[in-house]
Amino acid sequence: MSFIQCRALTRIYRRGNIEIRPLDGLDLDIEAGEFLALMGPSGSGKTTLLNLIAGIDAATSGNLLIDGHELAQMQTGRLADWRSRYIGYVFQLYNLVPVLTAYENVEVPLLLHRLSRRERHRRVSAALELAGIADRHDHYPRQLSGGQEQRVAIARALVADPRIIVADEPTGDLDRESARQIMSLLQRLNRELGRTLIMVTHDVRTTRYASRCLHLDKGRLVDSAPAVSADSATALEEDGHAGA
């Protein structure tokens, strides 16, 4: 069985008499340790799928199993506990708390766990170091560049050691060089730490860091691109550095 398994996954919203289906009978398998990119026009169901996998939203019908867990069968408390152990979420606009320092923002997810202050400090420091932002630990979001804010957001997603990292347009608000650095970091997390990484993007250049790219349209899978070699991603990094 695949690590993440979607079968006939459907999500329906209603606005008055209008029925909206951002996902319509989607079948998809994602393997543990995969780096999957999702592309498609606005309204194609990419972010809806991301939110279902993250346990933020619930499917209208169909099945979603992650590591053998059927999310639809979990009660609210159990789902929240599962999400804190399995999911790290990276947002396009960072979603940092402006009155907290970088360190404090990264620490927030750990407050849901029964950890000593010393253990929280160890984990936060390690996450900031891994994300390359340890030297800005005492800075507030307003004192950081966009790329630095996203590094803090990635450190926050990592700090609880989740099995899955989901990223919704992680480079959408960044300049080209910052985007290159963030994609290199995400690729490193996938390759060196073995994290399963699922990313929504509109930028075809970022998909070359992934091992697979899927295209959605009107809630259905329309095609997929094969995995790219490490050389392709390296070439992209060099192109981005040259054009920055």
Tens-digit pLDDT profile for residues 26-38: 999 999 999 999 9
Return the CATH class of domain 4-243.
alpha beta
For residue 84, give every residue at least 6 positions away whose Cβ sits within 8 Å of its Cβ, in sequence order, or none.
109, 112, 113, 160
Mean residue pLDDT across the chain? 90
pTM of the model: 0.88
Rounded Cα distance, 89 and 53, in Å: 11
**119-140, pLDDT tens digit by residue?**
999 999 999 999 999 999 999 9
**154-178, pLDDT tens digit by residue?**
999 999 999 999 999 999 989 999 9
**Higher per-residue confidence, 237 vs 30:** 30
Phi, psi of 154 (to 5 degrees): -70, -40
- Rg (alpha carbons) of the chain, rounded to whole number: 18
Pairing of strands 69-70, 18-30: unpaired
Q: What's the angle, vertex CA 98, arms to CA 95 and CA 99, rounded to 5?
A: 140
Phi, psi of 50 (to 5 degrees): -60, -45
Q: Is the pLDDT of residue 224 over 70?
A: no
> Which one, of 106, 111, 119, 189, lies nearest residue 148 by Cα?
106
Q: What is the pLDDT of residue 1?
A: 83
**67-91, pLDDT tens digit by residue?**
999 998 999 999 999 999 999 999 9
Structure tokens at 81: 């506990």
Q: What is the pLDDT of residue 241?
A: 43
Q: Provide mean pLDDT across the span 53-77.
A: 94
